[in-house]
Chains A and B, each alone.
Chain A
Amino acid sequence: MRHVLGVLVENQPGVLAKVAGLFSRRGFNIESLAVGTTEDPTVSRMTIVVEGDENVIEQVAKQLNKLIDVIRVADIAKDSVARELALIKVHTTPATRNEIIQIVSVFRAQVVDISKDSLIIEITGDQDKVSALQEMLKDFGIKEMVRTGIIAVDRGNRLIKNNNFKEE
């Protein structure tokens, strides 16, 4: 099963390597990993998509928690807001350009660059939406594609904070 983990870590060099190393040596499968700073500049937040059953996810969370640089690990709920951004450079001809632009607008994606024989499309959404657009564009010829991996935030009052060590 796919799980999305939100991981707060110290914003320090070497932390990403330690987290990535942990996954590889323990044989956990990362589907994607996205990392960036948070509202607190000393803290970074990683969003890690992991494949595995409950036992695996529990081990992943526990092993992550053993890393001194890891502040907090949370399993983000299925109904969370999860988004991914992708840039897709697709091959165009005068005959296909309009059709592609129509598809893009159906997906509420954007054309961010245009040239004689290609378009760059920016799309934001959950993984399925990005994959669906990719599927639609496949036959036109995708020259290059890059995806950020998912970032996710729980809805409502559920927060991942580094100070919520309260009794549960």
Chain B
Amino acid sequence: MKITGAQAVVECLREQNVDTIFGFPGGAVLSIYDALYDAKDITHILTAHEQGATHAADGYARATGKVGVVIATSGPGATNTVTGIATAYMDSVPMVIFTGQVASSLLGKDSFQEVDITGVTAPITKHNYIVKDAARLPDIIRKAFQIARTGRPGPVLVDIPKDVQNTVIDYQKIKVNTDYISEDTFHPHFYTKARIEKSVNEAVEAINRAEKPVIYAGGGVNISQASRQLVAFAEKIKAPVTCSLMGMGAFPSSHPYFMGMVGMHGTRFSNYAVSNCDVLIAVGARFSDRVVSKVEKFAPNATIIHIDIDPAEIGKNVNTHIPVCGDVKKILEKLMDMVDEKAPNGWNKQIEEWKKAHPVKSRPAKGKLTPQFILEKLYQYTKGNAIICTEVGQNQMWTAQFYRFDEPRTFISSGGLGTMGYGLGAAIGACIGRPDRRVINVAGDGSFMMNSTELATVSRYNLPVVQLVLNNRSLGMVRQWQKLFYNGRVSYSTLGAEVDFIKLADAYGIKGFRLTSNGEVDDVFTETFNLDRPVLIECVIHPDEMVYPMVPPGAAIDEIID
């Protein structure tokens, strides 16, 4: 069939079963938007800013497991997606970003709204394309989706010059398998059967010998949909489970083996367990500096087994004794069959003792309303059934510590890049992707203000997202570091009362509540969760509330302050 490049973009979206995209129109994507005008089967969510669109597509992808799709125009439209792309890249989120580009004849001439976006995004995409030959457009889009969703997922950008969008091409519809495919189809030589078998055997031997094993689960477990396998495996070898921030939800928080996060703001017992274990089984995790802190002191006595689909993660940040490269789910299934069942043992008792001695608890309150209390109440009111997005900073850490995640894809947060301003956009995407779940964005006042313009999107589509703004009139995590490591010199981290959040919400037609004491939480949450509409709850907390426990940067993870 003869259609234009722009129409081919829409047809290719249909091939991929894409029904929702996020974007913002502009000069260089007018043809694609014209094609979308007729595509009633594809819902286009118009955001206030391209960054918001990118975070929304990211949140959509994390909540559903599908590929998030973004459209932005050339130049500033494209550069506005950069932070969102980098966020997705760091956390391995499958996304395809279409950017318009000036016409081929104008490329390289500093034309109006021209930016070399493939150059700009090369380090933050899994791959990118600029389409110079319209005939290749459909195949490039298919490949872009395939790359985005296979192996270790990631964002792929497709830059389409205006003339390519308008060129008539011969398009043939094809049938596409849109499932997540764990094997990286591009470099199969890393996954030879012999290699995997050898390392699995070594891992089994080490696990059978282990007296003090610990499982360290990361985001890869969520991506590989291996939660069930992980639980079964942990139960069989009686191993306590800790997780990275990205691994939240991969192992149920309510499970007796769960120890919470490890690392800088990990629980004491997680950090003790990792520091004292004899075998550390890392599953779909990448030993980020926020987990490891001081490399030489991380699991110093342990044989490290590292299971990951990305060979480049193995041996990158810490030395691995037994590298197992492959899909987490498949490897866990293999290990499950081969390892010996262990009996409850002294190591399990030791962990229980540590848990009792160092419970996750609120410290004596600084103010009448405490973030820990709010988050525990939030869990109670949502019964753990909600999808929780966060911004970045104290709000994010408190959420990870005090809300309990029992299911994959219910905790959506910028882990690797630490993008303030991520949560609101992500919550929009999650809400659209999972209309069956209530979506809450836990924010701080600082990070919330970064992209609060997206309240316009919440309002436009009447999305029943709850904004829980923990307002401490400061950039809390910056303040915390300044208090602890910069002699209390709170340089430019103090915000004032310059924003009336209730009026701000009101301006967007969003229902606002202000909380000032723990005693008011029940009433406001009861009302909020009975309302099927957008809500903003401002929680006025004390600026000196801190996130504890904490490992000072560069210290060993069992050198904890709290």
Cross-chain contact A165 with B188 (CB below 8 angstroms): yes
Instruction: Give the shortest distance, in Å, between A61 (CB) and chain B (any CB).
Output: 9
Asked whether A32 is an interface residue with its Cβ less than 8 Å from the other chain, the reply is no
Q: Please choose the segment from A17-25, A36-44, A112-120, A137-145 that sits at the chain B interface, where 4 or more of its residues have CB less than 8 A away.
A: A17-25
Partner of A59, one of B122, B195, B312: B312
A129-168 to B contact mask, C-beta < 8 Å, 1/0? 0000000000000000000000000000000000001011
Asked whether A27 is an interface residue with its Cβ less than 8 Å from the other chain, the reply is no
B7-40 to A contact mask, C-beta < 8 Å, 1/0? 0000000000000000000000000000000000
Q: Which residues from B are CB-within-8-Å of A17?
A: 119, 122
Cross-chain contact A65 with B311 (CB below 8 angstroms): yes
Q: Which residues from B are CB-within-8-Å of A105?
A: none
Q: Which residues from B are CB-within-8-Å of A62?
A: 311-312, 314
Q: Which residues from A are CB-within-8-Å of B316?
A: 59
Q: Which residues from A are CB-within-8-Å of B122?
A: 14, 17-18, 21
Contact A25 to B118, CB < 8 A, known contacts A59-B316, A66-B312: no
Contact A168 to B315, CB < 8 A, known contacts A14-B118, A25-B123, A65-B187: no
B311-330 to A contact mask, C-beta < 8 Å, 1/0? 11011100000000000000
Asked whether A68 is an interface residue with its Cβ less than 8 Å from the other chain, the reply is yes
Cross-chain contact A165 with B311 (CB below 8 angstroms): no
Instruction: Give the shortest distance, in Å, between A168 (CB) and chain B (any CB).
Output: 6
Cross-chain contact A68 with B195 (CB below 8 angstroms): no
CA distance A14 to B188 in the complex (A): 24
Count how many chain B residues have C-beta atoms less than 8 Å from C-beta atoms of the other chain: 23
Asked whether B189 is an interface residue with its Cβ less than 8 Å from the other chain, the reply is yes
Within 8 A of A (CB), among B302-356: 310-312, 314-316
Cross-chain contact B310 with A21 (CB below 8 angstroms): no
Contact A68 to B127, CB < 8 A, known contacts A18-B122, A168-B194: yes
State the majority secondary structure of interface residues on B.
helix
Within 8 A of A (CB), among B147-177: 147
Instruction: Give the shortest distance, in Å, between A107 (CB) and chain B (any CB).
Output: 41
CA distance A58 to B319 in the complex (A): 12
Asked whether A55 is an interface residue with its Cβ less than 8 Å from the other chain, the reply is yes
CA distance A56 to B312 in the complex (A): 11
What is the chain B residue whose CB lies nearest that of A64? Answer: B312
Q: Which residues from A are CB-within-8-Å of B194?
A: 167-168
What is the chain A residue whose CB lies nearest that of B195? Answer: A168
Instruction: Give the shortest distance, in Å, between A113 (CB) and chain B (any CB).
Output: 35
Q: Which residues from B are CB-within-8-Å of A80?
A: none
Q: Which residues from B are CB-within-8-Å of A22?
A: 123
Count how many chain A residues have C-beta atoms less than 8 Å from C-beta atoms of the other chain: 19
A44-76 to B contact mask, C-beta < 8 Å, 1/0? 000000000001001100110111110000000
Cross-chain contact B187 with A55 (CB below 8 angstroms): no
CA distance A83 to B172 in the complex (A): 48
Partner of B312, one of A14, A18, A21, A63: A63
Asked whether B192 is an interface residue with its Cβ less than 8 Å from the other chain, the reply is yes
Q: Which residues from A are CB-within-8-Å of B311?
A: 62, 65
Instruction: Give the shortest distance, in Å, between B158 (CB) and chain A (any CB).
Output: 13
CA distance A43 to B308 in the complex (A): 30
Q: Which residues from A are CB-within-8-Å of B62?
A: none
Q: Which residues from B are CB-within-8-Å of A165?
A: 188-189
Q: Which residues from A are CB-within-8-Å of B193?
A: 167
Asked whether B190 is an interface residue with its Cβ less than 8 Å from the other chain, the reply is yes
CA distance A168 to B198 in the complex (A): 12
Cross-chain contact A68 with B126 (CB below 8 angstroms): yes
| Residue of B118, B147, B189 with highest tally of chain A CB at under 10 A | B189
CA distance A55 to B194 in the complex (A): 22
CA distance A1 to B351 in the complex (A): 45
What is the chain A residue whose CB lies nearest that of B119? Answer: A17
CA distance A21 to B119 in the complex (A): 10
What is the chain A residue whose CB lies nearest that of B132? Answer: A13
Partner of A168, one of B123, B147, B186, B192: B192
Cross-chain contact B123 with A65 (CB below 8 angstroms): no
CA distance A63 to B187 in the complex (A): 12
- Ranked 6 nearest A-B pairs via Cβ: A62-B312, A68-B127, A165-B189, A167-B192, A62-B311, A65-B187
- 5 further contact pairs, Cβ within 8 A, besides A65-B187, A66-B187, A68-B186: A62-B312, A67-B127, A68-B127, A167-B194, A168-B192
